[in-house]
Amino acid sequence: MGSPMRRAVFLDRDGVLVEDRNLLVAAEAIRILPGVPAALASLRAGGFLLVVVSNQAVVARGLLDEDGVRGLQAEIQRRLVQAGAPELDGFYFCPHHTRATLERYRQDCACRKPRPGLLLQAAGELGIDPAASFMVGDRVTDLLAGAAAGCRTILVQTGQHEAPPIETLEPVREIRPDFVCPGLPGAAGWILEAV
């Protein structure tokens, strides 16, 4: 008999954990959003895995390589832990874009949100049940990816929620999130009450 499936909170990075600086390419530009470390700690205490799923077009544009993205994430993780957050359980990112500057990243992939590839990959590798999980994002494409993976969805209003949708080949449709709140602390409170 296999081990029971686990539940997770999937988190977009820019605009959920850190300020969305449009294109984050340097550690000195990292700004952890207010209340994020405590919110992550409460979710972990509630039994959730914490998994970041992020589009990183900076790679496709040649502004940062994949190791550079991982290095920035390690610095974000270090700062979160220093502020009282638990270690995150996974970091999954899409380096692709259909109009990438670097040809090797110019593709119509399954991992660029609004497609659910990153969430499904994490679910398979970490033993996560998407139906018992949540996707927290600041853009409609985050919500679409979460819903397509089978998660409940939460929109945080941290700056980019009113921005035009990111460029994607498929049409971006309207989606009603399960919950809307100002930031991750509100999302964490709702998630813990909903389970």
Q: What is the dihedral of CA 87, 190, 117, 90, to 10 degrees?
A: 0
Nearest-CA neighbor of 77 among 18, 155, 134? 18
Percent helix, strand and coil across the chain, each rounded to 5? 35, 15, 45
Q: CA 70 to CA 92: how far, in whole Å?
A: 9
Asked if 108 is an active-site residue, the reply is: no
Asked if 12 is an active-site residue, the reply is: yes
Coil/strand/helix, residue 12: coil
Please identify which of the residues 12, 20, 138, 142 carries the catalytic annotation. 12
Q: CA 10 to CA 130: how far, in whole Å?
A: 9
Q: CA 77 to CA 87: how far, in whole Å?
A: 7
Please identify which of the residues 14, 138, 142, 178 carries the catalytic annotation. 14
Q: Are the C-beta atoms of 139 and 166 separated by less than 8 Å?
A: yes
Active site (catalytic) residues? 12, 14
